[in-house]
Amino acid sequence: MSFCVVGALGSEHGFFVQCTIDNEPTNIRLVDIYLPWEFEFDHLRDQKIREAQGFVLVYSVTSRQSFEEVPMFYRRVLRIKRYPDTPVLIVANKCDRKSEREVTPEQGRELASNLNCRFYETSAKYDVNVDASMFDILQHTKRYRPERRSSTRTNKDKRNSDCVVL
């Protein structure tokens, strides 16, 4: 599966993860398309979005600006994917930094609800909800099968598809 991550990995190159989903070995490609976000890279970013099956939109609870960018990324994904039920997860990272918060949990939940997305607060530093959020988007993506996808894909193709995290 291919997932786009925006704002989490710090590298547009991403990495591969192997895991088991529903007793089936699965290769997952995580690609961070947030950096660099300059206009000249739009075509590359859009290509990664087209290739991905699931999306994780990450913002920092310590940055109001990163929170306010989430709807823009969400609209871009839907514009390119053309399916309103495309699997998208909103993740609020750095929930451990309570004294530096600029975004409340309620604001994050409200945004996710308005965009019809799932929502998690995480701490990568303390490994809070990281596995749970990834498992959630993987399960949601696995169940998602837009009608336009070809039924001629092989089992190997299905195991090696990608996910993008934004």
Would you state the pLDDT for residue 152? 43
Reduced to 3 states (helix: H, G, I; strand: E, B; else coil), residue 150 is coil
CA-to-CA distance for 82 and 10, rounded, in angstroms? 27
Q: What average pLDDT does the structure give for the chain?
A: 79
Mean per-residue pLDDT, 25-34:
72
Q: Is the pLDDT of residue 28 over 50?
A: yes
Q: Which of 20-29, 68-77, 141-150 is most confident?
A: 68-77
What percentage of the chain has pLDDT greater than the value 90? Answer: 41
Give the CATH H-level superfamily of domain 2-10+32-143. P-loop containing nucleotide triphosphate hydrolases (3.40.50.300)
CA dihedral sign of residues 15, 164, 9, 33: positive
Query: Residue ranges of the domains in the chain?
Result: 2-10+32-143
Would you state the pLDDT for residue 157? 46
State the pTM of this model. Answer: 0.79
Would you state the pLDDT for residue 51? 87
Would you state the pLDDT for residue 83? 85
Give me the helices (H) in the chain, please: 42-51, 64-81, 105-114, 130-143, 155-159
**Tens-digit pLDDT profile for residues 115-166:** 999 999 999 899 999 889 988 888 888 887 665 444 444 444 444 455 555 5
Mean per-residue pLDDT, 83-97:
93
Would you state the pLDDT for residue 6? 61
**Tens-digit pLDDT profile for residues 51-64:** 888 899 999 999 99
Q: Which one is predicted more confidently, 152 or 17?
A: 17
Angle of CA points 95, 99, 104, to nearest 5°? 50
